Amino acid sequence: MLSTPSYVEKFKNNLSKELPRVPILDSFKEISELGKQLAELQLNYQRYVSAVVMKEKEKPNLPEYSNLAITAEENALKDYVEKVQLDKKDREITINGTVKVQNIPEFAFECKVGNYPPIEWISKYLVKKEDKDTGIIWDPKIKVEEFIDLVKKLVAFSQMCLEIKGRLDGFYS
């Protein structure tokens, strides 16, 4: 119930200050089943992202969104991600200034895990950065083709999450 859009909207001020209160509803069994589906979905995608970053060979087989337009030269897909620019207005991602991922659906920005849509999170944190104070370099060494694969999977993840949350919202509202 804590994931339903109407619950979050109704109690958004209280959720930052106190423990959430879960209403007791007649349809507990259906709600718990949808909650289980949502949790499994989130854990599977988290495992996938971790497997890509950790360069593990065995990754969960997950669905991906196939309607993205990708503009790139063949060689550019083998490069490592150095810079990512996410443009929410035009719904596109530019990687290393040369590769474009376009036609990102609006729902990919509506679904949030924590405070960020997943594709925004990877656009900020899966790029090479150097801490100016310490000189420590964070370099996940993600290739452009791996990053695009992550985008496709996270757009599909967003779509499935919003579908489950919409079904949950039907019980609460």
Write out the DSSP string of 1-47: -TT-HHHHHHTHHHHTTS---PPP-TTHHHHHHHHHHHHHHHHHHHH
**CA–CA gap between residue 144 and residue 84 (Å, rounded):** 10
State mean pLDDT over 60-77: 89
Which element (helix H / strand E) includes 138?
strand 137-138
Burial class (CB in 10 A: 0-12, 13-18, 19+), 11: middle
Q: Which residues make Cβ contacts (< 8 Å) with residue 157, sequence separation at least 6?
A: 41, 45, 62, 111, 118
Percent of the chain beyond pLDDT 90? 50
Q: Please say if the pLDDT value at position 132 is more than 70.
A: yes
Please give the residue that has the higher pLDDT: either 55 or 142: 142
**CA–CA gap between residue 155 and residue 105 (Å, rounded):** 8
Q: What is the pLDDT of residues 16-56, one digit of tens each?
A: 788 777 766 678 888 889 989 999 998 888 888 888 888 88
| Per-residue model confidence (pLDDT) at position 6 | 79
| Per-residue model confidence (pLDDT) at position 147 | 94
State both tokens at 82: 């150095």
Q: What is the pLDDT of residues 156-167, one digit of tens each?
A: 999 999 999 888
Residue 84 half-sphere exposure, CB side, CA atoms within 13 Å? 25
User: Taking the model in full, what pTM does it have?
Assistant: 0.81
**CA–CA gap between residue 65 and residue 82 (Å, rounded):** 24
| Per-residue model confidence (pLDDT) at position 85 | 96
**CA–CA gap between residue 56 and residue 54 (Å, rounded):** 6
